[in-house]
Chain A
Amino acid sequence: MLKLHDMFKVYRTDEVETVALNGVNLEIDQGDFVAVMGPSGCGKSTLLNIVGLLDNPSDGDYFFFDENVAKYSESQRSGIRKRNIGFIFQNFNLIEELNVAENIELALLYHKIPTAKRKQRVANVMDRMGIAHRAKHMPGQLSGGQQQRVAVARAVVGDQPLILADEPTGNLDSVHGQEVMELLRSLNAEGTTIVMVTHSPSHADYARRTVNLFDGHVVTDSLRAA
């Protein structure tokens, strides 16, 4: 599904050159559940941004469904993003001015979907996530766990085959964290590919495969015994 080949990402400021990714090779198949781990500054988030088509690599190839997207422009990437990728962030990134249903609907807003159908899909996904009774609440009125459920709902409402989660449990207590992980696992079970950055080994255990990064390199890439 995804193939990163000899990928570099270099950040340049006036004087300093920081190498965030240093020749990463990585392949992710459809239906995978990958946890990316590593210390602060090892390039996890950079990797996720590039995989998520939010950023371009400085060098190397990136095949997204056999299409080399490494040099794509923002508008080209934007088109691929909205059809294929759902995002979940540590800090939820819900829009404060919109209620739960509207936040979820936002992900469909930029697709050409008729209003009635849009509403139907939002209602379905809210049922699935167990947040239908919160539909009219504003994000500020929800607990962190509930907010992250909304974010997950938003990530999957467009039927995107790939979900990228950047420390989805980082802002949650252990109970809520576990809930969210269960949610991700069940999504994966239904066939969604998930790439997740996390610091928590116990949450990484939900994944079937763990990639360890250090100083921009992949140091280990291990499948968890089934």
Chain B
Amino acid sequence: MIWNNIKIALRNLRKNKLFATINIAGLALGLSIYIFGGLLVSYERTHDAFFDNSENIYTIGSVAAPDLNLGIDLMNAAYSAIGPIIETELPDVEAVARTITEEYLVTMGADSYYQMIRFADPDLLRIFSMQYIHGDNTALDDPSGIVISATAATKYFGTTDVLGEVVTLNNEFDYRIAAVIQDIPQNSHFNSMPVMDVVLDVIAPIKALVRMRDWDEAGGYNNLSMGNLTYVMLPSTLDGAWLQTQIDSIFERLVPDSAKETISSIFASPISHANLSIWDSLGLPIVTVVQLLSFLVLVVACVNYANLATAQALGRSREVGMRKTMGATQGQLLMQFLTESVLMASIAMIVAIAALEIIIPLFNNVANKVMTLDYMRTLPWLLVTTLLVGLCAGLYPAWLITRASPIDALRDLARKGKKGSRVRAVMIGAQFAISAFMLSIVAVVYMQNQKINESSYIFPRAEIYSLNRIGVDSIQDRLDTLRHELESLPNVDSVGWSSQVPYEQNHTTTNVTQIPGDEAGKFSIQLLRMSPEFLDTYGIPILAGRNLNRDVANDIYVDEETEVLNVLVNELTLTNLGIASPQDAINQRFFDLDEEDTLREMVIVGVVPTQNIVGLFNEEKPWMYLYRPDAFRIGSVRITGGNMLTTIEEIENVWDRVIPEYPMQGRFLDDVFDEIYNVFKFMNMTLAGFALVALSLALIGLFGLAAFMAAQRTKEIGVRKVMGASSMQIARLLVWQFSKPVAWALAIALPLAYLGSNIYLDFFAERIQSPIPILLAAGSIAVLLAWCTVAGHAVRIARSNPVLALRYE
């Protein structure tokens, strides 16, 4: 019987090639998206599983204090003091290790490169089971030992047999290679954290930082940087809940109040979550969203199938009638139709898998991942999916067609009657609701991203070329020379040094008040350390007062000496200080609350407009601009006119002349912006991809259905034409038939899209005015597309010869 059913199904396929192709293509598209989504989610959620004991490894993160207003809630990092405290307070813990990632100029063999180095406590190698080519997990116990990956070894030395070779950091500090490890697979948080863009190539002992820049090994509460993780390994007898209770108590008892102003608690999370922690911190649950969207696309595809199959099954009413007459029960016939839909689903699944075999390698290449379609592991899932999709998609048409009484079926009443037309309308509506929902969210996200992009042009983004890694002492001595030489280049407008450039997500803050020691009136202010030329370089106007000046003693901050400092502030600071106008602010004072600072008192000598330096999703904040040369990390060169690339070559020549021992590290300010902006762009592209697929499915479905409906009404159309209806009137009739479900689909989709897009918008401090016009526009586009799809058919049918239409039956 089954074999017979399959045979009929195959012949039916061959007979209705167009429907079959549309059906299978739609299902295959839906299935490939769904499987791809599923694989991606499982890939992202099973990171780091290859390490022994991975289920016992946790990272310690921090919850940002609510009034910090960072736009970020969860940070995957902890203060460097937390790790050692856990180690002493919790003797049951197997091992604790902190990591700090910094970039250094590394000389190995003949070559020098800037290289991201992970400085780590020695126990890192006991927590993570690395594959050693040479050396072992004691490599970091030696404060001058260094661990490098096979790739790094090959890159620098051309071989992995490099044990004992000397490695020099920043031309000054020598280390020896104590171990060579196999590259850590790509599906580890070490290599695949989004935005961070760091690969684990070189690990150095944390003691090296102590030696090179007086880093406090006991750790402190000054610096919290995303990506600097603290790892804890538990014995298998203890679990995450236990660890959480313990660190809650540690936070309560041992973390100083000053640190609690920045973070409100610390949390333990399993290592398998580490690679997704950036998304968690942004509050954008991308993995869940991908899962949901890929499921919705599959639903659209199934509904699409059900819809077309219903239309088509009605054409087989006579066959069903005949079978019933001969004694087939509804159960047997259901079986037949379900066999058919499961067969279709199986063909679609094979097509989908074939497509994925092509797509996954391409995606891996672009996204730098190592996803695989592991048939052994996924086979049960694929089979169950095929079966469920086949059954879900096929059940309604099968039920509808087989429930008619044999006489009705033989007379083909089902085809002519209104039976099921409401359900079909609901199905079209549902498909359309889902695609309109996605499309409108995409539109809102796109417009919001545009807004962010446009706002960033308050600074001359395209004209700035930044020079990184100027924070080394030996370079800082020569910054003045470098600036003079660069400014003498024909196309260089001005050169400014600073602690950060716009769009970098750094927040250095201090608490200040109008009256000394007034805790109640305090507010948090952001610090930008800069040279006076910075304002020129970025075209920041001075609203009142003057710029900072090298020749005025109180304008320059000297560490541990300056007690009273002249500064510039932005207008928002004035609001916080209760000063009415920029002019009134000049010579006004405010005070630092941090008693450990030597600097206690600030004098306002100039006021600049409120501009969002960190930009992107952050809100505008009070800023204070001070001249502090030892905090310069980065230079900004403004290039106007001339050929950008030639000018950069000239800049590099100057650099090589002034600072020959360090290679220049420059990049465009646009790239700094894009680094974060790309996250939002990526989200938009992902959403757009899903929306596009859902919409095309809905349109394909509509097209097929319109074709079917038109065929069904051929006789009616013929009669109407004989009675004198114009082609236009006929076309309108057919188009209106589909407009009702599409209209109510919009009525459901748009409010949901409004709620959905607000989740995204909430993340941004500066928002588009209202998403409603955008939602309406996106909705109209969806309707328009639907109309065009149906109208194409309607017009052709309407134009046909009425006699032909009548003869059809």
Residues in A lying within 8 Å of B, measured CB to CB: 49, 52, 54-55, 74-75, 78-79, 81-83, 87, 89, 93, 95-98, 102, 106-107, 109-111, 154
Contacts and interface: CB of A to CB of B under 8 A. Distances in A.
B322 A75 contact: no
A226 to B, nearest CB: 33
A81 B325 contact: yes
Contacts of B325: 52, 54, 81, 87
Interface centre among A78, A82, A111 (most CB of B within 10 A): A78
24 contacts: A49-B407, A54-B405, A54-B407, A55-B405, A55-B407, A74-B405, A74-B406, A81-B325, A81-B326, A82-B327, A83-B327, A87-B325, A89-B410, A93-B321, A93-B322, A96-B15, A97-B8, A98-B8, A109-B1, A109-B328, A110-B326, A110-B329, A110-B332, A154-B326
Interface string B313-346: 0000011011111111110100000000000000
Contacts of B405: 54-55, 74
A170 to B, nearest CB: 15
Nearest to A97: B11
A52 B410 CA distance: 14
A95 B332 CA distance: 17
Contacts of A107: 326
Nearest to A96: B15
Contacts of A102: 4, 7
Contact of A95 (B319, B406, B407): B319
Contact of A82 (B12, B319, B321, B326): B326
Contacts of A97: 8, 11-12, 15, 319
A89 B323 CA distance: 13
Contacts of B406: 54, 74
A86 to B, nearest CB: 8
Secondary structure call for the B interface? helix
A98 B1 contact: no
A79 B321 contact: no
A79 B327 contact: yes
Contacts of B327: 78-79, 81-83, 110-111
Given A75-B330, A97-B12, A109-B1, 12 more contacts: A55-B407, A78-B324, A78-B327, A78-B328, A81-B326, A87-B326, A89-B410, A95-B322, A98-B8, A110-B326, A110-B328, A110-B329
B401 to A, nearest CB: 14
Interface of B: 1, 4, 7-8, 11-12, 15, 318-319, 321-330, 332, 405-407, 410
B10 to A, nearest CB: 9
Interface centre among A49, A83, A110 (most CB of B within 10 A): A110
Nearest to A87: B325
Contacts of A154: 326
Given A93-B318, A95-B322, A78 B329 contact: yes
A15 B1 CA distance: 45
A98 B11 contact: yes
Nearest to B326: A107
A84 B11 CA distance: 30
Given A55-B405, A74-B405, A93-B410, A106 B12 contact: no
* Pairs of residues from A and B, 4 with the lowest C-beta to C-beta distance, nearest first: A82-B327, A97-B11, A93-B322, A110-B327
A1 to B, nearest CB: 19
A20 to B, nearest CB: 12
A110 B12 CA distance: 21
Contacts of A111: 327
A83 B321 CA distance: 17
A102 B4 CA distance: 9
A75 B329 contact: yes
A109 B4 contact: yes
A52 B406 CA distance: 11
A55 B413 CA distance: 15
Nearest to A46: B407
Contacts of B7: 102
A96 B16 CA distance: 12
A79 to B, nearest CB: 7
B399 to A, nearest CB: 15
B334 to A, nearest CB: 13
Contacts of B15: 96-97
A90 to B, nearest CB: 11
B466 to A, nearest CB: 70
Nearest to B11: A97
A54 B328 CA distance: 12
Contacts of A78: 324, 327-329
A106 B323 contact: yes
A95 B321 CA distance: 11
Contacts of A74: 405-406
B546 to A, nearest CB: 91
Nearest to B12: A97
Contacts of B332: 110
A75 B329 CA distance: 7
Contacts of A110: 323, 326-329, 332
Given A93-B318, A96-B15, A98-B8, A106 B326 contact: yes
Nearest to B9: A97
Interface centre among A89, A97, A106, A111 (most CB of B within 10 A): A97
A20 B321 CA distance: 22
Contacts of B324: 78
Nearest to A98: B8
A58 B544 CA distance: 99
A81 B321 CA distance: 13
A93 B318 CA distance: 7
A139 B325 CA distance: 19
A90 B494 CA distance: 96
A162 to B, nearest CB: 13
Nearest to B322: A93
A4 B323 CA distance: 26
B400 to A, nearest CB: 16
Interface centre among B7, B318, B326, B405 (most CB of A within 10 A): B326
Contacts of B4: 102, 109
Nearest to B15: A97
B313 to A, nearest CB: 13
Contacts of B11: 97-98
Contacts of A83: 327
Contacts of A82: 326-327
Contacts of B330: 75
Contacts of B328: 78, 109-110
Nearest to B328: A110
Nearest to B10: A97
B509 to A, nearest CB: 76
A54 B326 CA distance: 10
A55 B589 CA distance: 99
A98 B318 CA distance: 14
A101 to B, nearest CB: 12
Contacts of A49: 407
A87 B4 CA distance: 22
A97 B321 CA distance: 15
A226 B12 CA distance: 49
Contacts of B12: 97
A13 to B, nearest CB: 12
A158 to B, nearest CB: 8
A158 B12 CA distance: 26
B318 to A, nearest CB: 6
A78 B324 CA distance: 7
Contacts of A75: 329-330
A97 B11 CA distance: 6
Nearest to A45: B407
Contacts of B323: 106, 110
A87 B327 CA distance: 11
A73 to B, nearest CB: 11
A106 B328 CA distance: 10
Contacts of A52: 325
A112 to B, nearest CB: 11
Nearest to A55: B407
A100 to B, nearest CB: 14
A98 B9 CA distance: 11
